[in-house]
Structures are given as structure tokens and as C-alpha cells.
Amino acid sequence: MSDDETKALAAEVDLKGEVAGFLSEFQSFADDIHAKLQEQDDRMTKLDRKMTLPGRRPALARGDDLEAPHQKAFNAYLRSGDDDGLRHLEIEGKALATTGDGGYLVDPQTSATVMSVLNATASIRAIANVVHVEATSYDVLVDHTELGAGWTTETSTIADTATPSIDRISIDLHELSAMPKASQRLLDDSAFDIEGWLAARIAEKFARSEAAAFINGDGEDMPRGILDYPREVNAGAVWGELGYVMTGADGAFASTNASDAIVDLVYALGAEYRAGATFVMNSRTTGAVRKLKDNDGRFLWSDGLAAGEPARLMGYPVLVAEDMPDIGSDACAIAFGNFHSGYTIAERPDLRVLRDPFSAKPHVLFYATKRVGGGVSDFAAIKLLKFGTA
């Protein structure tokens, strides 16, 4: 064999060695990628098993595969108490973290349903100023004096103006709770909409408690209602007191010119508040008021012209709140005011739930809590009608 042939053979051997080495390295790389993909697939399969009830039938037309992870995890927790999915989301820093005092934050869809129901109920919440806070209280700064001002010319000396007086009103947040219950057999039924059921039960109980507190709450472990504040005849009312006007008859409208009391109530409120003002009264008082006529025999009351539109009294909308007192001796049965200016509701946006399968066997309790507070934030913005003579 010649030298040239020997060199060619050696080169061919070297090339084959390099190709074999490349293929070996490529195969090792491919095996490593495959192992990592298999590991990731195993983790996802394990997570899906944790968040799915054993033996649960696939729901029809629900699109379970499209549900957000937090909804699937929350559903599993409500039905079986399996919180592995929620804890996994917490570790990843996603929604539905545990709370410091136990329980889990309700998924956003269920929470939004509760809030929409609360906002739609016949409660002062529907017309008040509602703010979301992260603290345990909310401060309202109110400037209830006129800011000093004066006229001047280009050459005249500018005089000092008066300094406004600022009042700080602190609204504490209190814990509102509800405890609906369901049987475990019902929870095991995959056709049962657990999130919708829970949202409806929570919203119903929260709405009742809130509506009562915003009217009559004493501020002790609950919001302070409008009727808990000191009251004074309107002409002598000062800051911190709600002004009222009288009907002129004990526990009733006056026997003559009964509608004059409604007119007096409307114009007891300052012009700057009347544009956004609303009447608040219960159904029994509404029945009496809608019979009132002016001096020309025309009813003061008019029903809404379209579905969902509130009835109006002297052109102002009426909110029927059943927690307002009935007409009676010295009762302040009607309120009139701009509640967006006059009453502030402060709440934390989170809603928490803790599953309790032990306290009421064979039922499962769901202890739901939120934090909310309320109070008068502008005393000049709300006036009351007192059914009395003094």
C-alpha cells in the first residue's frame, strides 16, 4: 500500500471516529431532553390528580379543561377538603393564598358574584361611597368650612385668608361572617354547582347583615348606622349631629297639608347635595307616602317609567330599605340625602372561606368572612324626617 493510500485510509478512520463521537454526544443530549420533558409531564399529571376528585364524572358543557387552575383547586377544596392544589398555587405565588387566621381566599369569580349581589341589594351600599382598603381602618378627611378667599387688584395688598378647619373621621373595619352548610352527598355530586351555591348563600347572609348595620348598627364590632348618631332639629344641628325636620303630628303626618313635611325635608338639605340625593324608607312607610298629594291634588310619588328604574318622590329616587323604622311616635322613618357624600363604606376586597366537616356532621360547614366598616362621613349631607312635634 502506497503512502497516499495509507494517509487516505487514516483520514477516513479519523472521520468515522469524529462522526461516531458526534452521534454519541447528540444521543446523550436527546436523552437528557427527553428525561426533562418526562419529569415535567409527571409533575403536571401529579398536580392534576391532586386537584381532581376520584371517580368524578366529567361535567358536560362545563369546559373543565379550560378552567383556571385556581378555580379547579378551589372546587376540589370545597368538595373534598383537598387543599394540595391551593397550597401549590400559594407556593408559586399565584392567587388563592392561605390567610393568616386560617381558610383560603375565595376565587375571584365567586368573590365577584358575591360583590355584584351585594351591590344590587336594597341597601345603603347601593347609594353610598364604597372604598376598598388594605388596612384595618379608613380615614375620611372632611373640610366642612369654606376655604378663605377674597378679591384683589394687581396693585393692592393681598390680605391673609381664613384657614380651613379639617375633621378626621376614622371608619374601623369589622369582621362579617356567614356559615352556610351542605351535605357531603350533595358536594360529591359533580352536577352540583358548588361555587354558585356558595356565592349565593354567602351573599344572601352578608346582604342582610350589612343592610341592617348600615341603618341601625352601633359601631361595636359592626358598622355604625345612620340612625345611631346624635340627632338635633335641623336649625340647631352642628357637626357630629344629623339634622331632622318634624311632621307636626305624633307618630303620623299632619292631618292637614301632610305633604308639607316632605317639602320641608327636601329643602332642609343644602343645594349642593340635592342634585344626587335619594329618599330612604321601608315598604310600610312607602305605602303611606305614595298617597300624599300636593295642594293641587297631584301625587308627590311617581313610579319608574322603565323596568329597573327607581320610583321617585318629588323627582328624587327612592330606595326601599326594610331596616328603616316604621312610622311611629318620634320615629325618624324617612332619610333624605346625598349618601355618596354622606355615608362611606370601607371594606377589604378579599373574601375568605374555611371548610369545616367536623362541627355539624353529616353536613359540611363553610365559614366565610370578610371585613367591612361604615359610618357617616358628612353630617350635612343627610337629613331625617321625625314623626313628632318636638
Q: What is the pLDDT of residues 246-277, one digit of tens each?
A: 999 999 999 999 999 999 999 999 999 999 99
Rounded to an integer, the average pLDDT of 191-203 is 81
Q: Is the pLDDT of residue 133 over 80?
A: yes
78 in any annotated domain: no
pLDDT of residue 74: 67
pLDDT of residue 383: 98
131 in any annotated domain: no
Q: Is the pLDDT of residue 59 over 60?
A: no
Rounded to an integer, the average pLDDT of 227-237 is 95
Domain span at 312: 223-345+374-386
Rounded to an integer, the average pLDDT of 16-43 is 66
User: 389 vs 245, 248, 285, 314, 386, CA distance in Å?
Assistant: 9, 5, 18, 23, 8
Pairing of β 352-356 and β 104-105: antiparallel
Q: Is the pLDDT of residue 358 over 90?
A: no
pLDDT of residue 99: 47
pLDDT of residue 103: 64
304 in any annotated domain: yes
What's the number of domains the chain is made of? Answer: 1
Q: Which residue has the higher pLDDT, 374 or 390?
A: 374
The region, left, alpha or beta by phi > 0 then psi within -120 to 50, assigned to residue 89 is alpha
In the chain, where does DSSP find H-type helix? Answer: 3-50, 69-80, 84-91, 108-120, 184-188, 194-216, 260-268, 271-274, 283-289, 339-342
Q: Counting Cβ atoms within 10 Å, is residue 301 exposed (0-12), middle (13-18) or buried (19+)?
A: middle
pLDDT of residue 60: 35
Rounded to an integer, the average pLDDT of 363-368 is 85
Q: Which residue has the higher pLDDT, 279 or 390?
A: 279
Q: Is the pLDDT of residue 70 over 70?
A: no
At residue 123 the predicted structure's pLDDT band, cuts being 50, 70 and 90, is confident
The SS3 call for residue 212 is helix
332 in any annotated domain: yes
User: What single-letter DSSP state applies at residue 165?
Assistant: P
327 in any annotated domain: yes
Residues, the chain:
390
Q: Is the pLDDT of residue 22 over 70?
A: no
Residues near 6 by Cβ (< 8 Å), separated by ≥ 6?
none
158 in any annotated domain: no
- The answer to whether residues 365 and 78 touch, using CB atoms and an 8 Å cutoff, is no
The rounded distance, in Å, linking the Cα atoms of 282 and 320 is: 5
- The answer to whether residues 325 and 283 touch, using CB atoms and an 8 Å cutoff, is no
At residue 192 the predicted structure's pLDDT band, cuts being 50, 70 and 90, is confident
Q: Is the pLDDT of residue 51 over 50?
A: no
pLDDT of residue 53: 43
Rounded to an integer, the average pLDDT of 305-324 is 87
- Does the pTM surpass 0.85? The reply is no
107 in any annotated domain: no
Rounded to an integer, the average pLDDT of 366-371 is 88
244 in any annotated domain: yes
